[in-house]
Structure 1
Amino acid sequence: MTSLDDLAARARSLVREGHRALLGITGGPGAGKTTLAEHLVAMLRPTPPEGLPAREWVAHVPMDGFHLADVELDRLGRRDRKGAPDTFDVAGYAALLRRLREDEDDVIYAPAFERDLEQPVAGSIPVPRAARLVVTEGNYLLLDQGDWSRVRPRLHEVWYCDLGPEERVRRLVSRHEHFGKDRDDAVAWVLGTDQRNADLVATTRFRADLVIPDAVIRSVGASAEASG
């Protein structure tokens, strides 16, 4: 896979005979998962497979909406490592994926993650019955520990974003600064909590159906920066 066009064609091919397909995109923190998912969905919307309605046929459902709220992280004593595997409602995420795959509801509502607030917001993302391809992305889609092991069986394919560590760290520091951390705190968080999570995610790389190389991820990121 050498371009976004190639990835779009592969994603479209997952939809067979009208059945709903679930595509996962994973990788470490800052690896470009969300940017890739958003670009892929925007590219696919106007070009549905034959017989499917434009726009509504593809949906984006991030895993980050299943972050536990800060008040719960405080109660559990886990707020200082927010983003680790045990700071998510993974059972809730797995249940949502099951509902999406069973495809029995007229509309399914998913939570979003509001980065300005650093909090999940329930009922923010509607997935209509017309959505035949659902793209979801998050760090731990290939993790086989605890309830995370329930995630991979519900996805038809999972792609791994293999962005180089220097660029990934640069992006993360910039993101944390953008959302309010000062430079020193941002660097400390990225090299501490984020890096521990990235190291764990890297151990799942071999389970991916497709590894997306650094060059492709950088090209998508550059396109996003130019347009945004």
Structure 2
Amino acid sequence: MRRMEAQGLDRLAERAGALARPGTRRLLGLAGPPGAGKSTLAARLVERLDGLAVLVPMDGFHLAGAELARLGRADRKGAPDTFDAAGYAALLARLRAPEPGTVVYAPAFDRALEEPVAGSVAVPPETPLVVTEGNYLLHGGDGWAAVRPLLDEVWYLDLPDALRVPRLVARHVRFGRSEAEAEAWVSRSDEANARLIARGRHRADLVVRMD
């Protein structure tokens, strides 16, 4: 886990734990550009909370590859309009109001397949905190404006580009792209998305500076 300036993991887990009150349901969002460490931090928080939280990733709402191809958006995968934003917001609304005795099943994203997988994450009604992470939790356009009001807190993860971009390239290589292909994708697609995501930073409740 990278060190977090001003806010160590213990303090972040304590803040998240304050939301995880049995008998209630709260939603915590982690936003930030690609490669900032959202999924890593989210997993660590859920682990620390030891049964009081479940992780529901926004990436489960990627449109399937076949649908992206049909729409002519496959070369922009990861952009705001390559997700089912309305479906994600509908799930968050459902998670905010759990029904006794009803488990909600959420999708996840399989990086090996590069496809969303339905019914991957079980959220029991008694779990007090749902942690969700993704790029566009603070985005106001492309159908995403409904998301922010459904989250009790949103943290924006800020990692310097000099660290974030090489890490992002390495991740693409790890999942099958050549280094040249990874660098081209990051430069053309991921960084365009990162600039868009940064515009919502001021809407966060907390900025977590990571290095």
TM-score normalised by length of structure 2: 0.95
User: Which of 46, 49, 54 is the matching residue for 1:44?
Assistant: 49
Among 183, 187, 190, the residue aligned to 2:186: 190
Secondary structure of the residue that 1:147 maps to in structure 2? coil
* Structure 2 match to 1:59: 54
Distance across 2 between alignment mates of 1:200 and 1:155: 20
Counterpart of 1:28 in structure 2 is: 33
Q: In the alignment, what sits opposite 1:224? A: none
Is 1:202 aligned with 2:211?
no
Give the corresponding residue for 2:162. Answer: 166
Q: 2:141 aligns with which of 133, 138, 145?
A: 145
Runs of 5+ consecutive residues of structure 2 not aligned to the other structure? 1-5
Deviation (angstroms), 1:43: 1.1
C-alpha distance 130-94 of structure 1, shift in aligned 2 (>3 A): same
Matched, 1:76 2:81: no
What amino acid is aligned across from residue 87 of structure 1 in structure 2? T
Shift of 1:15: 3.1
Higher helix content, 1 or 2: 1
Q: Match of 1:29, as an amino acid? A: P
DSSP-derived class of the 1:80 partner: helix
The match for 1:116 is: 112
* Match of residue 176 from structure 2: 180
Residue type at the aligned position of 1:96: L
- Shift of residue 17, structure 1, vs aligned partner: 6.0
CA distance in 1, matches of 2:62, 2:151: 20
Contact 2:104 2:123 in 1 (8 A): yes
Q: What CA distance in whole angstroms lies between the structure 1 residues aligned with 2:70 and 2:171?
A: 26
Superposed displacement of residue 16, structure 1? 4.2
TM-score w.r.t. the length of structure 1 is 0.88
| RMSD (CA atoms) | 1.0
| Identity percentage of aligned residues | 60
- CA–CA separation in structure 2 for the residues paired with 1:13 and 1:58: 12
Name the CA distance, whole Å, in 2 between partners of 1:134 and 1:100: 8
1:102 aligns with 2:97: yes
What is the aligned residue count?
A: 205
